[in-house]
Chain A
Amino acid sequence: MSADNTPAPAVPAKARVRRLPPEFNILVVLIGMALMFEALGWIFEGQSFLFNILRLRIMILQVSVIGIIAIGVTQVIITSGIDLSSGSIVGATAMVAASLAQSSDYTHAIYPHLTNLPAFVPIIAGIIVGGLGGMINGGLIAWTGIPPFIATLGTYVSIRGFAKWYTRGNPVSFLTPQFNYIGSGIVPVFIFLICAAIFHVVLGYTRYGKFTYAIGANRQAARVSGIDIKRHLLLVYTIAGLLSGLAGIVTAARAQSGQSGMGVGYELQAIAAAVIGGTSLTGGAGRIWGTVFGTLILGVVTSGFTFLNINDYLQEMVLGGIIVGAVIVDQFRQARRAKA
């Protein structure tokens, strides 16, 4: 984490001004919140919040899917784009993957001749669906020039439509144990952390990463320095789609069922995780570890509130406050950067 992840040649000034990496602040917030719940736990519940293996597990497990999506969304936001379609892609992939993962025990399978397939079939099918969704996003944005907000708003609606159409809204259940394994125990946590590690390296140490930051920081400069912006945007959105597809597979495996309503609102939670983690909505700045911490904050808050038995209404209200607070902090950071 000591490595400077924004060494893009087109934007040297920005990287130098900042002294502490922003994800350090996020880590402090994360630890602070955990300690706050720890203290409140001893006061009100008479037990520890953190020293509880089961709770530590669920804290990460319940946000793993959001985290996987957020890794892709972070890259999109770094290019100063946005992806509203992630939740719909989760729904579509969950449906397609589940339909190819049904066990022959169930007599009303969607494809009666395609039951008991090895798990790699639904996994590959799901990832292809996710990748296609992302490719449509990237293609629209790169070649028609419409704003990412509009392009992905369109696919947000259409892809959800596809998810519902696929089985006319019927759920797809009774999946093979092999497929369900993907969502069992802490497998989703591993998938999340492995993806995070991969894209930490990819963003920080490869040409792909440098181009991504360069496009977001200053598109004009990036173009002049010879980056094929269209091709690169297509790539970034496709990767985001692939990750959402993976998230859809994990969601279906966790629930042991594919349902067309899966993933509703996930896109906003993923954007929240990225923004809380210090990714700037104006582009050019943000790191995967920040997003991981942002995701964990969402998990800690959810577990902490349930632990303290705080009622639902209050939970939602406070969660909204945290998201807005993160953006306010981001604005201050930018204002300071602009002055320097």
Chain B
Amino acid sequence: MMKRTLLALAAVTMLSQGAFAAKIGVTMDKFDDNFLTVLRNGMTDYAKKHKIDLQVLDAKDDLGTQISQVQNFIANKVDAIIVNAVDTSATPKMTALAVAAHIPLVYVNRKPADKVLPAGVAYVGSDEKQSGTMETQAMCKLMGGKGNIVVIEGELSNEAAVTRTKDIHNVLATKACSGMHILREQSANWDRTKANDLMTNWISAGVKPDAVISNNDEMAIGAIQALTTAGMTKVKVAGIDGTQDGLAQMKAGRLQVSVFQNAAAQGAGAITTALKLIAKKKVPSMVWVPFELITPANMAKYMAKN
């Protein structure tokens, strides 16, 4: 046992930028979310390659479970903790727990609500202000700055959904896109089937948009399915995530815009950041992984990712 640990230690020392030990506990918001699964795979792949002892737990979208998991990690004396927060407003509590136990903490993908992250705590993620803005600007350009749109939102209690929707409104308030008007705006809970039903309900109410701007690809696909059924194949559609299913729709000419959030890079980034913190290296408190715009012109590059 001891020997194996020593071997692992040696391996980690060689491979992970001089970090000496790496037993990392990860708590994820949920396991059954497609995007978070890619992120999780990014972490486990990186850990496997670099022989890091990674324990990944599912908080099942429950804040109480997540806090208990963090406390268990602390009790088990892990070297670092990675948290994909269930509810970003509850992060100060977890920050305090980790700081008190002197264990490095990395938040990933969901931006913590802490005003300032103390030393030994960092955030790895993408700036949501970028995603909705990129998406809407690209769509605005395609529409020549004018036309009617509908907006399909994610879960209303989710920060990404709120920010992305706010981004849409902000872009529409700019001069170049002031000719665009929102006919309807409603949530479909990130869900493909719900978006299909919602779009069909809108179509039946006589809503005739020129474009659909969705908070993610899954809902964009739902909207595309409804539009296809109604024979409205000219309507332009934009999503976010660049999932395999989304890219297939883009290949078929039905999805015009998507925005790639590099989930795997966020996952790997969370681990490298944790290793740096363990080694007491200097780390910026916000490590940004940039969003990337996907259009039919550059989509081939993304087919293999996510």
Interface residues of A (CB under 8 A from B): 45, 47, 52, 54-55, 57-58, 61-62, 91, 108, 160, 163-164, 168-171, 173-174, 185, 251, 254-257, 259-261, 302-303, 306-307, 309, 311-313
Contacts and interface: CB of A to CB of B under 8 A. Distances in A.
A306 B34 contact: no
Contact-size category for B: 20 to 34
A313 B200 contact: no
Contact of A55 (B32, B201, B225): B201
Contacts of A169: 31-34, 36-37, 40
Contacts, number: 85
Contacts of A45: 205
Interface stretch (B45-53, B185-193, B256-264): B185-193
Given A164-B31, A255-B193, A312-B186, A54 B37 contact: no
Contacts of A302: 197, 201
A55 B34 contact: no
Contacts of A173: 244-245, 248
B205 A55 contact: yes
A90 to B, nearest CB: 11
| Most chain B Cβ neighbours within 10 Å, of A47, A91, A171, A260 | A171
B156 A170 contact: no
Q: Is the interface of B mostly helix, strand, loop or mixed?
A: helix
B230 interface: yes
B197 A62 contact: yes
B255 to A, nearest CB: 14
B127 to A, nearest CB: 25
20 contacts: A54-B200, A54-B230, A57-B200, A58-B204, A61-B200, A164-B32, A169-B31, A169-B32, A169-B40, A170-B34, A170-B37, A173-B244, A174-B245, A251-B193, A255-B222, A260-B32, A302-B201, A306-B186, A307-B204, A312-B187
Ranked 5 nearest A-B pairs via Cβ = A55-B204, A261-B32, A169-B37, A62-B197, A54-B204
Interface of B: 30-34, 36-37, 40-41, 58, 156, 184, 186-187, 192-193, 196-198, 200-206, 222, 225, 229-230, 243-245, 248
A197 B156 CA distance: 38
Nearest to B37: A169
Nearest to B188: A312
A143 B300 CA distance: 57
Given A171-B243, A171-B245, 13 more contacts: A45-B205, A54-B200, A54-B203, A61-B200, A160-B32, A168-B31, A171-B37, A255-B192, A255-B196, A255-B222, A257-B192, A306-B198, A312-B156
A307 B37 contact: no
Contacts of B196: 254-255
B201 A307 contact: yes
B191 to A, nearest CB: 8
Contact of B156 (A168, A255, A303, A313): A313
A30 B203 CA distance: 23
Contacts of B202: 306
Contacts of B192: 255, 257
B280 to A, nearest CB: 34
B40 A306 contact: no
B205 A306 contact: yes
B150 to A, nearest CB: 11
Nearest to B156: A312
| Most chain A Cβ neighbours within 10 Å, of B40, B202, B206 | B206
Contacts of B31: 164, 168-169, 260
| Most chain A Cβ neighbours within 10 Å, of B193, B203, B243 | B193
A160 B30 CA distance: 12
A254 B193 contact: yes
Contacts of B32: 91, 160, 163-164, 169, 259-261
A62 B197 CA distance: 6
Contacts of B36: 169
Nearest to A63: B197
Nearest to A308: B205
A303 B58 CA distance: 35
A309 to B, nearest CB: 7
| Most chain A Cβ neighbours within 10 Å, of B187, B192, B203 | B192
A52 B41 CA distance: 47
Contacts of B243: 171
Contacts of A163: 32
Contacts of A91: 32
B134 to A, nearest CB: 24
Given A257-B245, A309-B184, A47 B37 contact: no
A236 to B, nearest CB: 28
A330 to B, nearest CB: 28
A54 B230 CA distance: 9
A257 B245 CA distance: 9
B37 A168 contact: yes
A91 B36 CA distance: 17
A174 B37 contact: no
Contacts of A261: 30, 32-33
B157 to A, nearest CB: 10
Contacts of A307: 201, 204-205
Contacts of B30: 261
Contacts of A259: 32, 34
Contacts of B205: 45, 47, 55, 306-307
